[in-house]
Amino acid sequence: MPANLPPQYYELEREFKAESDPSEKLRLAKELLAMMPKHKGTDKLQADLKAKISKLREQVEGGAQKKGGARQTAAPDSITKEGAGLAILIGPPNSGKSSLLDALTNSKPLIADYPYTTREPMTGMMPYETIQIQLLDTPPISDESQESYLPSLIRQGDLIIMVVDVCNPGFEQRVKLIFDWLEEKRIKLVPSIPEKLEDTLNVYKRTIFAGHKFLDEGGAEGIERLKQTYPAFKIVPTSILDDTAMENFKQEIYRSLNIMRVYTKPVGKDPDFNDPIILKVGGTVEEAAFALHKDFARKLQFAKIWGQGKFEGQRVKNTYVLSDGDIIEFHI
């Protein structure tokens, strides 16, 4: 029986064969397996690919033996997601990513004036009103340093934040290098996710810019250059010396995650503002109920809604589209 593999499979297979980095090779092998049609004609191909995946996973997770017997630790290419969303900080060396993480969360990253201070990813939780948003600081990307596990981490992010020191001359070339390198890894940084994907092999990641250190000498001019270079992207001026700028930055992170908070209200009781349901913008009553429990969603008959511009206790159907900050009372 013929395998009937799609043309995209052979393109990806060529990338797999040409790739030398084990972590990237493992990712490509997993994508090949997911793309492969599942029928008798591909049984042997599936078995061979699964064996390669197993071998690559052992190589990546176990590490290779260095000279002198030292053991290389596994690449930190995955993260346990927490909070309402995951925003990943990337950027050139000394762009200020760690300073932003320190200012926005309770984590204490190593901060220094010399480049490549951040050697491993570091996470922290950023409080925003009634929720927590997870931030991840990553090692810098440059022509001298491109950690092989970073593409895998970036693919897991809900939002990418490109941190740029706008006072540093020549930042345009350093940022372009990052865009180009990630595109080679089939990751496209975009101002918004397109409705129709140009290439299904690519991963599209919504990205905003942090125009950092904008209060320093040359900062205002740097912000303008950044806007001229990337006019389609949202660019937020940031400085750890300006509380208003940092609050604006937090608001933009929340907005760019494209999420909303819905608060629950038990029948006859006050709303619970401590543990909101997190939905994508445009989420419905039924999706909110499903977020609590799938059985609860099946039994749901109707709901009552409180919110800005709504009738107090307005009765709505399961298909009703919710808004950020709505209070919902479920009836089963």
**pLDDT on residue 295:** 79
| The 3-state secondary structure of the chain, one letter per residue | CCCCCCHHHHHHHHHHHHCCCHHHHHHHHHHHHHHCCCCHHHHHHHHHHHHHHHHHHHHHHHCCECHHHCECCCCCCCCCCCCCCEEEEECCCCCCHHHHHHHHCCCCCCCCCCCCCCCCCEEEEEEECCEEEEEEECCCCCCCCCCCCHHHHHHCCCEEEEEEECCCCCHHHHHHHHHHHHHHCCEEEECCCCCCCCCCCCEEEEEEEEEECCCCCCHHHHHHHHHHHCCCCCEEEECCCCHHHHHHHHHHHHHHCCEEEEEECCCCCCCEEEEEEEEECCCEHHHHHHHHCHHHHHHCCEEEEECCCCCCCEEECCCCECCCCCEEEEEC
pLDDT digits (tens, 9 = 90+) for 305-329: 998 877 888 899 999 999 999 999 9
Average confidence (pLDDT) over 193-222: 90
Task: Identify the CA nearest to 149 among candidates 73, 85, 223, 242.
Answer: 73
| CA gap 190, 174 in Å, rounded | 17
CA distances from 266 to 34, 172, 283, 323, 328 (A): 43, 53, 20, 19, 9
Terminus-to-terminus CA distance in the chain, angstroms? 52
Average pLDDT across the chain, whole number: 86
State the average pLDDT over residues 172-192. 95
Contact by Cβ (8 Å): 135, 104: yes
Using the predicted structure, report yes or no on whether residue 158 has a pLDDT greater than 90: yes
Which span out of 19-28, 55-64, 148-157, 293-302 was modeled with the highest average pLDDT? Answer: 148-157
Note the pLDDT tens digit of each residue in 66-91.
433 333 334 466 788 899 999 999 99
What pLDDT, on the 0 to 100 scale, is given for residue 113?
53
Question: How far is it, in rounded angstroms, from Cα 210 to Cα 207?
Answer: 10
User: Quick one: fold of 260-331?
Assistant: Ubiquitin-like (UB roll) (3.10.20)
- Interval 88-106: pLDDT, tens: 999 999 999 999 999 999 7
Which position has the higher pLDDT, 146 or 259? 259
| CA–CA gap between residue 26 and residue 56 (Å, rounded) | 6
Task: Indicate the domain borders of the chain.
Answer: 7-69, 86-257, 260-331
Within a 10 A sphere around the Cβ of 164, how many other Cβ atoms? 29
Q: Do domains 86-257 and 260-331 have the same CATH topology?
A: no
pLDDT digits (tens, 9 = 90+) for 245-282: 999 999 999 999 999 999 999 888 999 888 899 999 99
Specify whether the CB–CB gap between 315 and 299 falls below 8 A: no
From CA 302, how far away is CA 242, in angstroms rounded? 46
What pLDDT score does 71 carry?
33
Backbone dihedral angles phi then psi of residue 62, each to the nearest 5 degrees: -80, -25
Q: Which fold has domain 86-257?
A: Rossmann fold (3.40.50)
